[in-house]
Amino acid sequence: MLRALNIRDFVIVDRMDLEFDDGFTVLTGETGAGKSILIDALAMVLGERSDAGIVRQGAGKSEISAEFEIAGLAPLQRWLAGNDLAGDIDACLLRRVIDSGGRSRAFINGRAVTLAQLREAGEHLVDIHGQHEHQSVLRAAAQRGLLDAYAGLCDAADAVVAAWQRRQNLRQQLNALETNAAAFAAEREQLEWQVRELEALEFDPGEWQELLAEHARLAHAQSLIEGAQVAMDTLSEGDNSSVTQLAAAASRLDNLLEYDTRLKEIIDLVVSAQAQAQEAVYMLRAYQQRLELDPQRLREVEQRVDAVHTSARKYRVTPDALQEALAHARQRLDELGGASDVETVRKREAEAHAAYLAEAKKLSAGRRQAAKKLAGKVTAAMQTLALAGARFEIALNPLAEGNASGLEQIEFLVSAHQGIAPRPLAKVASGGELSRISLAIQTVTSEIAQVPTLIFDEVDAGIGGRVAEIVGRMLKTLGKKHQVMCVTHLPQVAASADRQWQVTKTAANGRVLSHATVLDDKQRVEEIARMLGGVKITETTRRHAAEMLKAVTRDS
């Protein structure tokens, strides 16, 4: 709900800082004092169109900011997070700056946004009922959503959206198949050939590494045999071999050991080296005996290595990735195999369409039943609001093909007078009339309304007396579930409010400025007395005003 509204240099307001509570609040004051200007300022920060004329004369720019508490508004919180606009937990700050040239900038939680984004956020927060565009009940989507929520059909509506999307996806798939049947057949044929070729290769990554090692060994077998022989000659079998010389060195040192025992550690190392050299000779001899020149096996291995490299080049991968290439080819072939049968997809599309129709028809039946009930209740509420003879209807206009919202378009219709054909709610001319119709709708649907703050401007146009008391009671009742604000000239409406703001206009230094003040109990009596008595306020008028306030307190 709205917690604070800060206005700078807007029309005849130089500076105004307002803080709001929940419940029902009225704004009162003399005609022309600027009551509706506050509503206009709020409409600006919610994204309504602006022009340079709203900047106070002599100022360079106008700035309006509004702070909202958004605890419990999960759709708005998701929208803010999805657009990287989230701010403090459970709070949202909207700001609008319009310069004297008419240029406008918008911000949400300190981040620059488009006017469309500002408007979209505002639609979650406030409904202004009057002459403003920012009124959700005039929008087709909001009317449909209101009816579905009233009827408890939100889940059914979601099911229709999901069914419609499934059917659309299959229809697009069918269209693509029918358009690209030849291309798919060619791709499938090529993939089948690729899978056969790669399967025939029987490539195995582990076997590949062993094959490379064997190839290296076979290709260099002669060098390995010769190298082993040279090493054996050097170590043991040649003249002056290493083993012989190490044995001689150990013997000579051993003869000297009696003269210096420190040679013992060195002799041990030399003897160990001799033993290790001799062991190496044994191992080299065994290794050499296992080596053999095998040209036939070498040719086989080379052919296998060449076949693997050829396939890898063909599919533009490394040999190690050949197995993955085969898996991808099989997967794509499976996809084409499951989707290439046009008749199969056509059948699935028909089944999805039938499922959509079944869900949509259930939704339509629920809507028809709820539309009649809701229309009757709103019509009854309208009769108490100086709209005697007026009639509210909800039209379910059939759609030939249906859409994601169902098989009909929802439209709110109103007949303002008996004998006049109903017209779309958006075309009701009178602002006061529209506000009272909106009040009737909001009162009937208050249990399911999603927007937390409701503002009524001109709701009391053309009414008075008993009807004014009814309007006041309806607004007070609505204020128990929503934050409600109303600009009013009627004392009966003002007396019903939980709190009252007085808007006044002053002239100083050639400038006319507007101010707003929260009234205490004594000041409320004076203001309501002014609204009752006009220019001259008598004690009788004051007593009447005090009695009106007491009566509301007793009734509540």
Residue where the block lists tokens 């529209």: 434
d(Cα 38, Cα 512) in Å, to the nearest integer?
15
Burial of 224 from C-beta contacts in 10 A (0-12 / 13-18 / 19+): middle
pLDDT category at 203 given cuts 50, 70, 90 is: confident
Nearest to 94 by CA among 85, 103, 82: 85
pLDDT at 18 over 80: yes
Express each pLDDT in 217-249 by its tens digit. Answer: 777 777 777 787 788 778 887 767 888 888 888
d(Cα 89, Cα 44) in Å, to the nearest integer?
24
Domain ranges of the chain: 186-338
pLDDT score for 529 = 92
pLDDT category at 338 given cuts 50, 70, 90 is: low
pLDDT score for 516 = 86
pLDDT category at 535 given cuts 50, 70, 90 is: low
Mean pLDDT of the region 512-526: 87
Percent of the chain topping pLDDT 90: 30
Express each pLDDT in 267-311 by its tens digit. Answer: 889 889 888 988 888 888 877 777 676 677 777 777 888 888 888
Q: Look up residue 380 and give its two tokens.
A: 């009854």
Look over the chain and give the mean of its residue pLDDT values, rounded to a whole number.
Answer: 85
Mean pLDDT of the region 392-398: 94
For 34, 388, 498, the CA distances from 324, given in Å and listed in that order, are: 74, 77, 72
Which of the 8 DSSP states describes residue 56? P
pLDDT score for 246 = 86
Q: Look up residue 329 and give its two tokens.
A: 């080819």
Assess contact for 489 and 527: CB atoms under 8 A. Answer: no
pLDDT category at 4 given cuts 50, 70, 90 is: very high
pLDDT at 139 over 80: yes
* 210 CB-near residues (< 8 Å, 6+ apart): none
Helical (H) or strand (E) element with 396 = strand 391-403
pLDDT category at 337 given cuts 50, 70, 90 is: low
Which amino acid, residue 278?
A: Q
Assess contact for 241 and 278: CB atoms under 8 A. Answer: no
pLDDT category at 80 given cuts 50, 70, 90 is: very high
pLDDT category at 340 given cuts 50, 70, 90 is: low
Percent of the chain topping pLDDT 70: 93
Q: Which of 144-153, 190-199, 427-436 has the weakest average pLDDT? A: 427-436
Helical (H) or strand (E) element with 406 = strand 406-415
d(Cα 161, Cα 145) in Å, to the nearest integer?
13
pLDDT score for 24 = 93
Assess contact for 340 and 184: CB atoms under 8 A. Answer: yes
pLDDT category at 260 given cuts 50, 70, 90 is: confident
Nearest to 10 by CA among 33, 43, 37, 45: 37
Q: Which of 147-156, 159-168, 335-344, 385-394 has the weakest average pLDDT? A: 335-344
pLDDT at 525 over 60: yes
Which amino acid, residue 122?
A: G
d(Cα 440, Cα 438) in Å, to the nearest integer?
5
Nearest to 8 by CA among 39, 32, 41: 41
Q: Could you tell me which residues are beta bridge partners of residue 393?
A: 413
Q: Which of 35-39, 118-122, 360-364, 525-529 has the weakest average pLDDT? A: 35-39
Residue where the block lists tokens 């911000």: 107
Nearest to 154 by CA among 355, 357, 370, 1: 370
Assess contact for 542 and 529: CB atoms under 8 A. Answer: yes
Helix axes 154-179, 181-201, angle to 10 degrees: 80
pLDDT at 369 over 90: yes
d(Cα 30, Cα 458) in Å, to the nearest integer?
14
Nearest to 328 by CA among 235, 462, 201, 191: 191
Give the CB-side neighbour count of residue 284, counting CA atoms within 13 A. 20
Q: Which residue has the higher pLDDT, 457 or 1?
A: 1
Express each pLDDT in 101-111 by its tens digit. Answer: 889 999 999 99
pLDDT category at 121 given cuts 50, 70, 90 is: very high
pLDDT category at 251 given cuts 50, 70, 90 is: confident
Convert 331-349 to b/e letters by CB count within 10 Å (16 or more is b).
eebeebeebbeeeebeebb
Mean pLDDT of the region 453-463: 77
